[in-house]
Structure 1
Amino acid sequence: MIDKSLDILNKVYGFDTFRPLQQEIISSVLEGKDALVLLPTGGGKSICYQIPGIQLSGICIVISPLVALIKDQVDQLKKRHIKAVGITGGISYRELDDVLDNCIYGNYDFLYLSPERLQQTLVKERILKMNVNLIAVDEAHCISEWGHDFRPAYRQIITLKELHPRIPIIAVTATATKAVQEDIIAALELQNPKVFKSSYERSNIHYHIKKTGDKRQELCDFYTTQPGSSITYVRSRKNAVEFTLLLQQSQITAGFYHGGLSNKLRTRTSQSWMSNKLQVMVATNAFGMGIDKPDVRSVVHLQLPDSVESYYQETGRAGRDGNTSIAHFIYNRNDIEHAYNQFVKSQPTTEYLKFIYRKLSNYLRIPLGEGGEETHPLSFSKFCNTYQLNGMQAYSALNALDRFSVISLAQGYHRRSCIRFRESGTRIIDFAQNRPVVNAIIQAILRTYGSSQHHVLQINTALVATRSNTSEDDVNQTLQLLQEQELIEATITNTDLQITYLIPRDDERTINRFSRELERQNTLRLEKLKALVKLVTNTDLCINKMILEYFDEEIPKDCGHCSNCIKTGSRTAFEHQILSALQSQPLDSNEITQQINIDKKVVVAHLKTLLEQGKVNITSNNKYTINE
């Protein structure tokens, strides 16, 4: 069967050989066995379930926590001519019904959906009728209460096992401590699973941490000496823009990326960076998931992520081609306090969450007992201004509501245009007779939405622009013109969030049911941030070693190339160990490595320095001696 898998790997994905562990994982899945797969970012996790999903008869169901991940993977499969569909927020009951029917009768290979969808009766009824060949759980750490992104809805995935008890489950993630691994296996009820785990060590990534009083200068200095493709991570949209301008002023090609950009602008900027027209992408953590660019030479952090897991995943976007890359962390003393404010102090209490939930429901005019499965655009800034809310706290509260499956929160800037015709379609067409662009747009609106004077119509300006062969700016200008002529009534609202209520509004009981878990998660966030701060501020231990120990992996050797290892004190200590080893007898580099238990590349580098300084000599049989 693995020969067929290799054939798919070559014809569908364009690779001749599997990456480490992929072949063993795929073979195990094809044999019908449950599996827990821990591969680093860029290690090829998705292929481990996509190839069996293509190879086996039937449909593979993939559970994924983020709309962006679902869309990216579905788009990638479609480009490879694989039939795949994703169920994301904002879909009507009828559309959902059609999609699920297609999965039963339409010969689809993949169905991607969020764990929240498994709570819907219709979804469960239709999945029962599907010929399911495999259940894949992406970002499986989300199922664990000890994970850094715990989502209670992931506990509902066990529903799939009840519907299809004989179908194997493959759970994949990039980051999971031993406790998280055990929790995943227990929560998914995996039967005698084989755990496939590659080392968390990334020997080609050199971790550098720099404390500085001038981050702006340090960033520019770094890119002066590091010309390769890079990502710089920041924690706010404002910083993404500001640091991009700084780099551009320093003649470094850079663009910015955050969740508030239009889809068109995000796509254009991403493509420019992917094709190396831009050297640096300055981005919030909205950027990177699903991005597979092998030649990223550096990842820079200008502010603290929320956990070691997040830091590990983000730095793992460098060096996927196996070549030497740098993870450069630039921070100052204010960053740690800011991180505590952002990730710990801003976390909502039960009472604050109830407050925000009521304000949100009132703002969107959702009555008690109603609103389930309804989607609403939201301008976050206007929402905060209306109720004089602290933006950081309010956004943390919305994220908590999303995490606990009260709402589904999607980012993405767009204009929502609502119109009502005040005149007949004929009257409006007459007005546009001598205006070709206006006429094309009006015709597209009438063909798509009709010309009723009795209903308010929600217009998709991007769709109208496509159907009229114009631009969205043209569409909005036309709507403005028609409103000025009193031919239509128009409301154009700028929005940066989309809120879908997953359950009907019920102010008290909605929040009370997970209040205890909320407080526990807040405590866990504090512990995870403390672990990251310890990693950043500890200047004595090998950074690579500290990261591996966090993930319960121990290695005896220091890496020799992180900023802690190469600082003066460590260099002197290594050289002293080498000289001590040579006191008793001449040794070659392998013998020295065995004696002092340091990576051979580090030993060779220090031997070169000692030779240059005249402290050691090398004999004719390549043994080193102390120069007396």
Structure 2
Amino acid sequence: MITKSLDILTTVYGFEKFRPLQQEIISNVLKGKDTLALLPTGGGKSVCYQIPGIQLPGICIVISPLVALIKDQVDQLKKKNIKAVGITGGISYQELDDVLDNCIYGNYDFLYLSPERLQQALVKERILKMNVNLIAIDEAHCISEWGHDFRPAYRQIITLKELHPKVPIIAVTATATKAVQNDIKTVLELDNALVFQSSYERSNIHYQIKNTGDKREALRHFYTVQRGSSITYVRSRKNAVAFTLDLQHDQITAGFYHGGLSNKMRSNTAQSWMNNKLQVMVATNAFGMGIDKPDVRSVVHMQLPDSIESYYQETGRAGRDGQESIACFIYNQNDIEHAYNQFVKSQPTADDLKFIYRKLSNYLRIALGEGEEQTYSLSFAKFCATYQLNGMQAYSALNTLDRFSVISLSQGYHRRCSVSFRESSTRILSFTHNKPEVNAIIQAILRSYGSSKNHVLQINTALIATRSNTSEEEVINTLQLLHDQDLIEAGITHTDLQITYLTPRDDDRTINRFSRELERQNALKHHKLKSLVQLVTNTTTCINRMLLEYFDEKTLLDCGNCSNCSQVVSRISSEEILIALHKRPLNAQEICQELKKDKDVVITLLKSLLEQGKVILTSHNKYKINE
């Protein structure tokens, strides 16, 4: 069977051979056995379940935590002519019904779901009727309450095993400590699962940590030396723009990427970077998921992520081709304080969540007991301004509501369009008779929403663009044209968030269900950030060794390449020079020969010793101890 898998790898994915552990993992899955696969970022985790999903008869169900990940993988499979579909927020009951029917009768290979979808009776009912060949859990660390991105809905995935008890499960992740691994196996009941784990060591990545008072100058200097493709990670949209402008000012080709940009702008910027038209992508952590660019030579962090797991995943986007690469961390004390404010102090209490949840529901005009499975567009800035909310705390609260499956939060630039008809559909269609694209758009609106003059219709411009085979821009222009002709009343507003209510509004009782778990998770976030700060501020221990030990992987050797190892080497070499000079004065060449050291290293150290006044230069150009 593995011969067929290799053929799929070649013909569908374009690779001639498997990456480490992929073949063993796929073989185990094809034998119908449960599997836990721990592969590094860029290690090809998705291939481990996609190839069996293609190869085996039936459909593979993939559980994934992020809408962006689902969309990316579905799009990639479709480009390979593989039948795949993803169910994300914002679709009607009828559309959900149609998608699930297609999965039963339409010969689909993959169905991607968020874990929250498994709580819907319709979804469970239809999955029971599907010919499921494999259950794949992506980002499986989200199952564990000890993980860095715990999502309670992941604990309910066991429902799939109850529906299809004989179907094998594969759980994949890049980062999982021993405690997290054990939790995954327990929750998924993987009692006899084989565990495939690659080393967390990335010998081709050289870790550098720099504490500096001038971060902008440090970043500029870094890119004057490092010329290859790079990602610079920041923690805010404002900083993404600011650091990009700084780099552009220094003639470094750079672009910025964050969740508030339009889909078109994000896509264009990402493509320019992928094609090496931009050297540097300055981005929030919205960038990177699903990006597989093998020639990224460096990843720079300008602010602290929330955990070592996040740091490890983000740095792992460098050097996927196996070539030497750099992970550079530029920080100062203010960044540490900011991280505590962002990740610890801003974590909402149960009372905070109740307050934000009520304000959100009131702002969106959702009555008690209503809102379930409804999607709403939200301008976050206007929402905060309306109630004079602290932006960081409000956003943290929305993310927490998302994590605990109260809402589904989707970042991205959207246009919200409300339309009411002033004229009959016949009159409007006659106006567009000689305008084929305009006519197609109006036909799509009429088929999707009707033409009642008594209702204000909320138009999904992306949906209409798809159904009319046009673009969102053309849909917006058409609505504006009809508005100008007094045929419709169109209101077009811009939003940066979409929120889907996963449960009916129930105010305090909604939050009370998970208030204790919230308290425990807040304490865990504090612990994880503290571990990251210890990693960053430790200047004496090998960085690579600290990372490995965090993930329970022991090593006796220092990497010799990180900034901490380099400092130790320099310090030892300085002492060796002083010991040699205690015997007699020596010139630089004689020191190199006696210590068997590189000349450039020796010259650098001698300059430092001269500046410190520990040695002096004699009239014969020899160095001696300054006594």
TM-score with structure 2 setting the length: 0.89
- Cα distance between partner residues in 2 of 1:471 and 1:89: 21
Segment drifting more, 38-47 vs 475-484: 475-484
Q: What does 1:383-422 align with in structure 2 at a 5 Å threshold?
A: 383-422=383-422
2:445 to 435, 443, 449: 449
Counterpart AA for 1:609: D
Q: What is the CA distance between 1:297 and its match in structure 2?
A: 0.1
Q: Distance in 1 between matches of 2:310 and 2:63?
A: 20
**CA displacement, residues 537-589 of structure 1 (integer Å, 9 cap, x when unaligned):** 1101111111111101111111111011112x433437979999xxxxxxxxx
> 2:484 & 2:97 partners in 1: Cα distance?
41
Compute the displacement of 1:82 (Å).
1.2
The match for 2:598 is: 609
Aligned AA (1:196): F
1:33-84 deviation per Cα after TM superposition (whole angstroms, max 9, x unaligned) = 1111110000011111111111111111111000111111111111111111
Identify which range, 122-131 or 441-450, moves more after superposition. 441-450
1:16 counterpart SS class: coil
2:566 counterpart of 1:570: no
Residues 269-418 of structure 1 correspond to what in structure 2 (within 5 A)? 269-418=269-418
In structure 2, the partner of 1:589 is none
Change over 3 Å in CA distance of 1:463–1:56 after alignment to 2? closer
Change beyond 3 A, Cα 1:574–1:129: farther
2:220 maps to 220
CA spacing shift, 1:282–1:610, aligned 2, 3 Å? closer
Going from structure 1 to structure 2, the CA distance change for 1:432 and 1:168 (only over 3 Å counts) comes to: closer
Post-superposition shift, 1:608?
Answer: 4.6
Asked if the contact 1:441/1:464 (under 8 Å) is kept, the reply is no
* Superposition pairs of residues 146-157 of structure 1, within 5 angstroms: 146-157=146-157
Q: Deviation digits for residues 440-468 of structure 1, max 9, x if unmatched?
A: 56523432223543332333445666788
Task: Confirm or deny: 8 A CA contact 2:441 2:465 kept in the other structure.
Answer: no
Question: 1:53 corresponds to which residue?
Answer: 53
1:112–1:479 CA distance, 2 compared to 1 (3 A): closer
Distance 1:430 1:129 in 2: 46
CA distance in 2, matches of 1:432, 1:111: 39
What SS is found at the alignment partner of 1:111? strand
Is contact 1:294–1:319 with CA below 8 Å preserved after alignment?
Answer: yes
Q: 1:36 to 1:463 in 2, by over 3 A?
A: closer
2:402 & 2:529 partners in 1: Cα distance?
A: 21
Question: In 2, distance between residues paired with 1:423 and 1:121?
Answer: 41
Q: Tell me which amino acid in the other structure corresponds to 2:375.
A: T
Question: CA contact under 8 A between 1:575 and 1:610: conserved in structure 2?
Answer: no
* Root-mean-square deviation (Å): 2.3
1-side partners of 2:473 and 2:561: how far apart?
52
Indicate conservation of the 8 Å contact 1:449/1:457, yes or no.
Answer: no
Aligned to 2:489: 489
CA distance in 1, matches of 2:578, 2:159: 63
Q: Distance in 1 between matches of 2:601 and 2:402?
A: 60
Distance change (3 Å), C-alpha of 1:281 and 1:106: same
Mapped contact 2:441–2:475 kept (Cα < 8 A): no
Q: If the length of structure 1 is used for normalisation, what is the TM-score?
A: 0.89
Q: Distance in 2 between matches of 1:533 and 1:525?
A: 12
Aligned counterparts of 1:471 and 1:74: Cα–Cα separation in 2: 20
Distance 1:259 1:147, change over 3 A: same
Name the amino acid aligned to 2:175: T
Cα contact 1:206–1:326 (8 A) shared by 2: yes
Determine the structure 1 residue equivalent to 2:250.
Answer: 250
Query: In the alignment, which residue of structure 1 is the partner of 2:93?
Result: 93
Alpha carbons of structure 1 residues 607 and 51: separation in structure 2 relative to 1, 3 Å: farther
Q: Which moved more, 1:372-381 or 1:441-450?
A: 441-450
**Partners of 2:109 and 2:574 in 1: how far apart?**
58
Q: CA deviation at 1:413?
A: 0.4
Matched residue of 1:86: which SS?
Answer: strand
Q: Which residue of 2 aligns with 1:547?
A: 547
Residue of structure 2 in register with 1:588 after alignment: none
Residue 428 of structure 1 and its aligned partner are, at CA, apart by: 5.2
Secondary structure class of the residue paired with 1:285: coil
Mark the CA change 1:524 to 1:77 in structure 2 (over 3 Å): closer, same or farther: same
Measured in 2, the distance between the counterparts of 1:17 and 1:464 equals: 42
Is structure 2 residue 166 aligned with structure 1 residue 166? yes
Native 8 Å contact 2:429 2:442 kept in 1: no
1:111 is matched by which residue type in structure 2? L
Moved more, 417-426 or 230-239: 417-426
AA partner of residue 21 (structure 2)? L
Task: Tell which deviates more after alignment, 337-346 or 464-473.
Answer: 464-473
**Which stretch of structure 1 is more off in the superposition, 51-60 or 297-306?**
51-60
Higher mean displacement: 248-257 or 421-430: 421-430
Name the counterpart of 2:177: 177
Contact 1:417 1:490 (C-alpha < 8 Å) held by counterparts = yes
Q: Return the alpha-carbon distance in structure 1 between the equivalents of residues 438 and 388 of structure 2.
A: 40
Q: Which amino acid aligns with 1:334?
A: N
SS in 2 for 1:213: coil
- Kindly tell me: are residues 508 and 471 of structure 1, through their superposed partners in 2, closer, same or farther at Cα, counting changes over 3 Å? closer
Alpha-carbon deviation of 1:15? 1.0
Q: Shift of residue 128 of structure 1?
A: 1.0
Structure 2 residue aligned with 1:40: 40
The 8 Å contact of residues 444 and 468 in structure 2, kept in 1 or not, is answered as: no
User: In 2, Cα distance between the equivalents of 1:247 and 1:418?
Assistant: 40
Moved more, 207-216 or 143-152: 207-216
Indicate if the aligned counterparts of 2:432 and 2:439 stay in contact, CA closer than 8 A: no
CA distance in 1 between partners of 2:601 and 2:216 (Å): 36
Identity %: 78
**Partner SS for 2:282:** strand
Q: Name the residue aligned to 2:587.
A: none
Number of residue pairs aligned between Structure 1 and Structure 2: 584
- Measured after TM superposition, the shift of residue 473 of structure 1 is 5.1
Q: 1:566 to 1:400 in 2, by over 3 A?
A: same
Equivalent-residue separation in structure 2 for 1:118 and 1:578 (angstroms): 67
1:586-605 to 2 correspondence within 5 Å?
none
Q: Structure 2: how far apart are the matches of 1:428 and 1:169? A: 54
Distance in 1, matches of 2:222 and 2:518, equals 40
Aligned residue identity for 2:27: S
User: How far apart, in 2, do the equivalents of 1:216 and 1:335 lie?
Assistant: 13
The one-character-per-residue Cα deviations of 1:11-31 (angstroms, maximum 9, x if unpaired) are 111111111111111111111
Q: Deviations over 1:467-493 (max 9, x none)?
A: 889865565455445445544222111
* 1:252/1:279 contact within 8 Å kept: yes
CA contact (8 A) 1:441 1:465 kept: no
**Is this contact kept in 2: 1:298–1:325, CA < 8 A?**
yes
The 2-side partners of 1:468 and 1:547 are apart by: 51
State the alpha-carbon separation in 2 of the partners of residues 150 and 299 from structure 1: 25
Shift of 1:98: 1.1
Aligned partner of residue 13 in structure 1, secondary structure: coil
- Which segments of 5 or more consecutive residues in structure 1 lack a partner in the other structure? 581-605, 615-628
Partner residue of 1:595? none
